[in-house]
């Protein structure tokens, strides 16, 4: 039964590592996307060409739209991060409860064998 507890511990460690890396990669990806979009917006807005009349209005509308999209994605990423942390915490608690259950069962079986 000690091997079972060791197995559960090893499994839980790998699951916890996976959860942490998954959450971090999602956060990094959204941050990188936001930065790339911001740089793209800056490069478009500084392009040479006619900045009068319809072109100026079009650029203003484009910049407004892109700024809204970037801000919305940042808000989405922040909420997603909160959700991931909540989920990660719930899974970690569940794994800890499973570990305790295996440990208690191991002790119970050990006591049962000692009585025989």
**Residues 77-107: pLDDT tens digits?**
788 888 888 888 888 888 888 888 888 888 8
Specify the pLDDT at position 1: 60
pTM over 0.85: no
Average pLDDT, stretch 23-30? 83
Reported for 10-13, long-range contacts at CB under 8 A and 24+ positions apart, including other chains, are 12/95, 12/96, 12/98, 12/99
């Amino acid at each position: 039964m000690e091997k079972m507890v060791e197995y559960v511990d090893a499994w839980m460690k790998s699951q916890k590592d996976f959860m942490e890396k998954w959450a971090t990669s999602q956060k990094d990806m959204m941050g990188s996307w936001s930065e790339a979009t911001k740089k793209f917006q800056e490069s478009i807005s500084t392009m040479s060409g006619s900045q009068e009349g319809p072109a100026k209005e079009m650029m203003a509308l484009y910049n407004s739209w892109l700024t809204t999209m970037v801000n919305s994605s940042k808000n989405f990423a922040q909420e997603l991060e909160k959700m991931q942390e909540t989920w990660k915490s719930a899974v970690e608690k569940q794994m800890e409860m499973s570990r305790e259950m295996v440990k208690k069962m191991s002790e119970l079986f050990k006591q049962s064998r000692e009585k025989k």
